[in-house]
Amino acid sequence: MRPVLGIESSCDELAAAVVRGREILASVVHGQGDVHAPYGGVVPELASRDHARWVSQVVEAALDEAGVAPGELEGVAVTAGPGLVGSLLVGLCFAKAFAARFALPLVGVHHVAGHLASAELADPELAPPYVGLVVSGGHTALYRIEADAPPALLGETRDDAVGEAFDKVAKLLGLPYPGGPALARAAEAGNEAAIAFPRPMRAGLDFSYSGLKTAVALEVERRRGPGGALAPGDLADVAASFQAAATDALVTKARRALENEGLGRLAVVGGVAANQRLRARVAAAAREDGFRAVFPPLALCTDNAAMIAAAGARRLARGERDDAALGAFARAPVGA
């Protein structure tokens, strides 16, 4: 089995990885925290410019670390979408040129298919069928995963993604970008039972986070001191109570999906799968209900190219190929 090169540039991380089967030979991630921190969020134009500056060095670093020459590769897998089109185009153009230069097959990968592939990459015993819960800055969705079919959507958010809610609430609390990890850290000192925020529950398997976000904003306004700032104890309580409400909704819907589908395995993937409270609550639910829960290690939860290489390797193994006409897309369902 020959290794696959993966390239990911859909948002504010430029990543390259070399993966052979389930073995990650190298995985390099070049983040852009410093570029966007002054603006409190990702600035698309700055993201694509920084990607263009780094892409060849990051790919070279991954190949060097893996000790793999381009000619030894099975093919090149690159994120085609969804994401910021300018950012995607940098990875896509590089991948096309690289594939052409070394006469390698090229495949485009859906970013969410990449996140879903991270679970099987991390856990050799995880085999379909299972339920995949994707929780990231752009996605909050449940899928039924089968061996020979595209992921089947069971439910998704009607408005904000859960990671986006973490980021927005963090900004509201004046926490530094990127907000999700900062909010989780702030929550450690708080009491999650301090404020009974509404659990964003819709019927069925869909999610909604805009109501929770509004409830947090109102609570923050209510607690602001004369200078406009929150007392540290209040900030920690708001953070912990928000985190509890946001993650409880995920656990409830994941349990419901497993029950509806009659399945006993759950994979939780995407940036928010790094959240320790979510991990603990899913693990507790797994013990109670008797299902198996798989979380990739932290480095495979947030955006990386190993997951793109793993998802691309499957397309290559099925004989699928893309050509130089492969375009970037801002949005599209994962099975499309």
Site for Zn ion contains 322 (CB under 5 A): no
Nearest distance, CB of residue 85 and ligand KG4, angstroms: 15
Residues near ligand KG4 (CB under 6 A) are: 11, 136-138, 163-164, 166-167, 178-181, 184, 270-272, 274-275, 302-303
Nearest distance, CB of residue 48 and ligand KG4, angstroms: 16
CA dist 259 → 3, 141, 205 (Å): 37, 16, 11
With tokens 């409880």, the residue in question is 248
Q: Which one, 231 or 330, has the nearer CB to ligand KG4? A: 330
Q: How many residues appear in the chain?
A: 336
Q: Which one, 74 or 237, has the nearer CB to ligand KG4? A: 237
CA distance 35 to 5: 26
SS (H, E, C) 170-206: HHHCCCCCCHHHHHHHHHCCCCCCCCCCCCCECCCCC
Q: Which one, 134 or 205, has the nearer CB to ligand KG4? A: 134
CA dist 19 → 4, 27, 28, 79 (Å): 5, 8, 12, 15
Nearest distance, CB of residue 274 and ligand KG4, angstroms: 4
Site for Zn ion contains 118 (CB under 5 A): no
Contact pick of 8, 237, 303, 322 for Zn ion (by CB under 5 A):
303
Nearest distance, CB of residue 134 and Zn ion, angstroms: 8
Tokens of 169: 């609430």
Which of the choices Zn ion, ligand KG4, none does residue 42 contact, using the CB cut-off of 5 to 8 A by kind? Answer: none
Q: Which one, 27 or 302, has the nearer CB to ligand KG4? A: 302
Nearest distance, CB of residue 101 and ligand KG4, angstroms: 29
Strand positions, DSSP E, the chain: 4-8, 13-20, 23-31, 75-81, 106-110, 130-135, 140-145, 152-156, 265-269, 292-294
Nearest distance, CB of residue 167 and ligand KG4, angstroms: 5
Q: Containing H/E element for 261?
A: helix 232-261
Site for Zn ion contains 9 (CB under 5 A): no
With tokens 């410093």, the residue in question is 34
Which of the choices ligand KG4, Zn ion, none does residue 184 contact, using the CB cut-off of 5 to 8 A by kind? Answer: ligand KG4
Contact pick of 136, 140, 243, 304 for Zn ion (by CB under 5 A):
136
Nearest distance, CB of residue 165 and ligand KG4, angstroms: 8
Q: Which one, 20 or 277, has the nearer CB to ligand KG4? A: 277
CA distance 263 to 130: 6
Chain residues binding Zn ion by CB under 5 A are 136, 303
